[in-house]
Amino acid sequence: MMSKTVTTKLLGSMRGFPSHRMNYAQSAVARELIKSRELEKDDLRPLYMDFQATTPMDPRVLDAMLPYQVNYYGNPHSRTHAYGWESESAMEKARKQVADLIAADPREIVFTSGATESNNMSIKGVARFYKSKKKHVITTQTEHKCVLDSCRVLEAEGFDITYLPVKTNGLVDLQLLEETIRQDTSLVSVMTVNNEIGVRQPVEDIGRICRSRNVFFHTDAAQAVGKIPINVTDWKVDLMSISGHKIYGPKGVGALYVRRRPRVRMEPLQNGGGQERGLRSGTVPTPLAVGLGAACEIAQQELEYDHSRVSMLANRLLRKIMSEIPDVVMNGDPEQRYPGCINLSFAYVEGESLLMALKDVALSSGSACTSASLEPSYVLRAIGTDEDLAHSSIRFGIGRFSTEAEVDYTADKCIQQVKRLREMSPLWEMVQEGIDLKSIKWTQH
Amino acid sequence: MAASTAQVLSLYRQLMKESKKFPSYNYRTYALRRVQDAFRANRSVEDPKMVEQLLNQGRDNLDMIRRQVAIGKMYPTQKTIVEG
C-alpha cells in the first residue's frame, strides 16, 4: 500500500494537467493499489447496496420454486398427462399473479427470458409489423442499452428513430414529445423508472398523449414493477417489460404485457411451436415462471411496507452524507423518483477510486469506468452532468433486505473515504484556497 | 375452536425463534423485523375468522422459514461486514 506522502507527491507532480486527466491519474493509482479478486474463505462479505443491478431472491420465492425443480418437472405444454397438467396449472397461476400486480388480464402476459428480451420483442416486433405504413419510432436518450441497441438495429433496417433528449432533471419534456410524434410514428418507448438515476417518468401523461395520437406506448418497467403501484389501464400503456431478478425473483425470467384491447400486433422474434400466443415460442420454464409469479404476489402484498421502509433508509443515507461533506450533487429529479436508487456525484473525487476505497460495500458507479475509453455514463451525459462530476458518481441501491446498520456503515465509510481522497487531491486544495477551477488555463508539459 | 391469546403468542415466539436461525444476515434481520411488524399491525383484529386466517398464514410462514433456514445452512458462506 503506497504511503500517503508518496501518493500526494505523485499526484502533486501532475499539477498543470487538465482536470479530467487528473481524475485519470487518481484512478490509475487506485487501480494499481487494488486488484479485483474473489473473496477468500476468511474474508467478510461486503454489504450489498446494488439493488438496481440485481436483487437476492426472497426466501418465499425460492420456497415456491423448489417443488417444481425437484418433483413437478413436467413440461407445461404436455397435454396428455398429469405432469403436464400440474405444470401448466402452476404456470397459469403465476401468470395471474403477474397480471394482478399491474392490473392486467392474465391473457395479456407473455413469459420471456427477461426484460431485455421483452424490450427487444416489443420494439422490433411492433415496428416491423407496422413498417409498411409507419416508419418512425420515438425513444429517449436515457433508456436501457437494450432499447437503444434495438433502435439502432431498426435504423439499419431503414426506420427513422428519434432519441428524445431529457431535461437536466432526467424527465422527458412532454411538449417536445407531442411535437415529435408524426403521422407515421408507430411506437414510443420510455422507461418508467431509470436504473441509473432513479427518476420516475410521467408515464400517465405520456400514455395519454400517445393514446390521443394513436401511437403505441411501450415502457420498460423493470425497475418499477413491485416498487410503485402500476395500473396499465390507468396509465394507457400498451406494452410493458417486467424483469424477474429486479423484484426478488429468479434470474432468467421476465414477462411482457401486451394489450389486447385495443389489440397490439407484433412480429414475433422467436418462432417455433406457437407457445405464448405465438409471440414467444419455446417451453415456458415452469420453476422460473412460478418464481416470478410468487415474487409479484409478494411484491403486491409488501408494496406499501417496502416503499415506506426504503424511503426512510434513503433519507437516512442522504441526510448523513449531505450533512457531513460539501459539494455532493444528487443526479436526477429530487421529487419524481424512486427513493431506493440514489446517484450521487462527489466533486473532486474520482468515482472508481471511491468505489475501490469502499470495497466493504457492493456499489456501482455511474460511469463505465471499465471501458477503455473511460467514457462517462450516457445517462449522466444526457442530463447534462459536467464531465468531471460524471466521473465521480456512485449509485446507492436500497432494497427490501437493507438494514439501518448497513446504511449507517455505508454512509460513514463513504464520508470517511471522500474526505481522505479529497485531501489527496490538488484540485480540492485549490478550491479550498478559493481558486475558480474553470478559470485555470491548463498547459501541457 | 376460537383462537386464544396464548396461541397467538406461541406462534409469535416460534416464528421469532426460527427466524433467528437464518444464517444469512439479510434474511435473518428481515424475517425478525417483518414478523414483529406484522403482529403489531394486526394487534387489534377482532373478527375470529380473520384471526384464524392470519394464524394459518403465520403457520405456513413458520414452515417456510424452517425449510429456508435448513437450505441456508446447507450452503454456508462467510458473514457480512456488519456482523463481524
Sign for the pseudo-dihedral over CA of A39, A43, A44, A47 = negative
The pLDDT value given to residue A17:
43
Q: Which residues of chain A make contact with B71, given a CB cutoff of 8 A?
A: 62
The pLDDT value given to residue A404:
97
Question: Residue A224: which of A392, A353, A340, A384 has the closest Cα?
Answer: A340
Nearest to B64 among A48, A59, A401 (CB): A59
Asked if the C-beta of A386 comes within 8 angstroms of chain B's C-beta atoms, the answer is no
Asked if the C-beta of A39 comes within 8 angstroms of chain B's C-beta atoms, the answer is yes
- Mean pLDDT of the region A401-408: 97
- Mean pLDDT of the region A233-244: 97
A191 touches A147 (CB < 8 A): yes
The pLDDT value given to residue B55:
96
Angstrom distance (rounded) from CA A129 to CA A265? 7
Domain A303-437 bears CATH identifier 3.90.1150.10: yes
Please confirm, yes or no, whether A151 is among the known catalytic residues: no
- Residue A151 burial by CB count (10 A; 0-12/13-18/19+): exposed, middle or buried? buried
Q: Which residue type sits at B35?
A: V
**Distance of alpha carbon A208 from its chain centroid, rounded?**
24
Complex ipTM tops 0.85? yes
Residue A374 banded pLDDT, cuts 50, 70, 90: low
Taking only the tens place, the pLDDT of each residue in A12-59 is: 444 444 445 545 555 565 555 545 577 777 789 999 999 999 999 999
Q: Which residues of chain B make contact with A43, given a CB cutoff of 8 A?
A: 78
The pLDDT value given to residue A397:
96
Q: How many CA atoms lie within 13 A of A307 on its CB side?
A: 14
Angstrom distance (rounded) from CA A116 to CA A173? 25
The pLDDT value given to residue A437:
82
Q: Is the per-residue pLDDT at A10 higher than 90?
A: no
pLDDT above 70 covers a percentage of chain A that reads 89
Count CB-CB contacts under 10 A for residue B41.
Answer: 10
Nearest to B80 among A44, A59, A62 (CB): A44
Q: Strand pairing partners for A216?
A: A187
- Mean pLDDT of the region A390-417: 95
- Of A146, A151, A369, A414, catalytic: A369
> H/E element holding A313?
helix A286-324
Angstrom distance (rounded) from CA A148 to CA A156? 13
The pLDDT value given to residue A6:
47
The pLDDT value given to residue A15:
46
> How far are the Cα atoms of A16, A347, A388, B13 from residue A437, in angstroms, in the given order?
12, 12, 12, 62
Same CATH topology for A59-298 and A303-437: the answer is: no
Angle at A430 between CA A425 and CA A431, to 5 degrees: 95
Mean pLDDT of chain A: 90
Q: Is the per-residue pLDDT at A372 higher than 70?
A: no
Residues for chain B: how many in total? Answer: 84
- Which backbone phi and psi does B53 adopt, to 5 degrees? -60, -45
Angstrom distance (rounded) from CA A74 to CA A71? 9
Residue to substitute from B53, B75, B82, B83, interface A, most A β-carbons within 10 A: B82
**Distance of alpha carbon A332 from its chain centroid, rounded?**
13
**For the whole model, what pTM was predicted?**
0.90
C-alpha cell at A57: 431472491
What would the DSSP string read from start to end of A327-386? Answer: SEEE-S-SSSB-TTEEEEEETTS-HHHHHHHTTTEE-EESS-TTSTT-PPPHHHHHTT--
Angle at A44 between CA A42 and CA A46, to 5 degrees: 145
Taking only the tens place, the pLDDT of each residue in A266-309 is: 999 999 999 999 999 999 999 999 999 999 999 999 999 999 99
Count CB-CB contacts under 10 A for residue A435.
Answer: 12
Taking only the tens place, the pLDDT of each residue in A324-342 is: 999 999 999 999 999 999 9
Angstrom distance (rounded) from CA A220 to CA A225? 9
What 3-state DSSP class applies to A199? strand
Q: Is the per-residue pLDDT at B46 higher than 60?
A: yes
Angstrom distance (rounded) from CA A264 to CA A281? 18
The pLDDT value given to residue A132:
95
Pairwise CB contact (< 8 Å): B82 & A405: yes
Q: Which residue of B has its CA nearest to A402?
A: B26
Nearest to A47 among B68, B77, B82 (CB): B82
Q: Is the per-residue pLDDT at A350 higher than 70?
A: yes
What 3-state DSSP class applies to A183? coil
The pLDDT value given to residue A31:
55
The dihedral region occupied by A248, where left means phi > 0, alpha psi between -120 and 50, and beta the remainder, is left
Q: Is the per-residue pLDDT at A369 higher than 70?
A: no
The pLDDT value given to residue A440:
82
Q: Which residues of chain A make contact with B23, given a CB cutoff of 8 A?
A: none
Measured between its terminal Cα atoms, the distance across chain A in Å is 28
Q: Which residues of chain A make contact with B82, given a CB cutoff of 8 A?
A: 47, 403, 405-406, 409
Q: Strand pairing partners for A136?
A: A160, A185
C-alpha cell at A357: 476505497
Angstrom distance (rounded) from CA A409 to CA A396? 13
Q: Which residue type sits at A250?
A: P
B55 touches B7 (CB < 8 A): yes
Q: Which residue of A has its CA nearest to B76?
A: A41
Q: Closest Cα of chain A to B68: distance in Å?
A: 6
CATH topology of domain A59-298: Aspartate Aminotransferase; domain 2 (3.40.640)
Domain residue spans in chain A?
Answer: 59-298, 303-437
Asked if the C-beta of A47 comes within 8 angstroms of chain B's C-beta atoms, the answer is yes
Q: How do strand A185-189 and strand A136-140 relate by DSSP bridges? A: parallel
A269 touches A127 (CB < 8 A): no
Which range (A206-210, A214-218, A366-370, B29-33) has the least confidence?
Answer: A366-370
Q: Strand pairing partners for A138?
A: A162, A188
Residue indicated by cell numbers 432513479: A198
- Mean pLDDT of the region A223-228: 97
Taking only the tens place, the pLDDT of each residue in A117-170 is: 999 999 999 999 999 999 999 999 999 999 999 999 999 999 999 999 999 999
**Position with higher pLDDT, A54 vs A435:** A54
Domain residue spans in chain B?
Answer: 5-83
Q: Which residue of B has its CA nearest to A40?
A: B78
Task: List residues in chain B touching A: CB distance below 8 A.
Answer: 25-27, 29-31, 34, 37, 64-65, 67-68, 71, 77-84
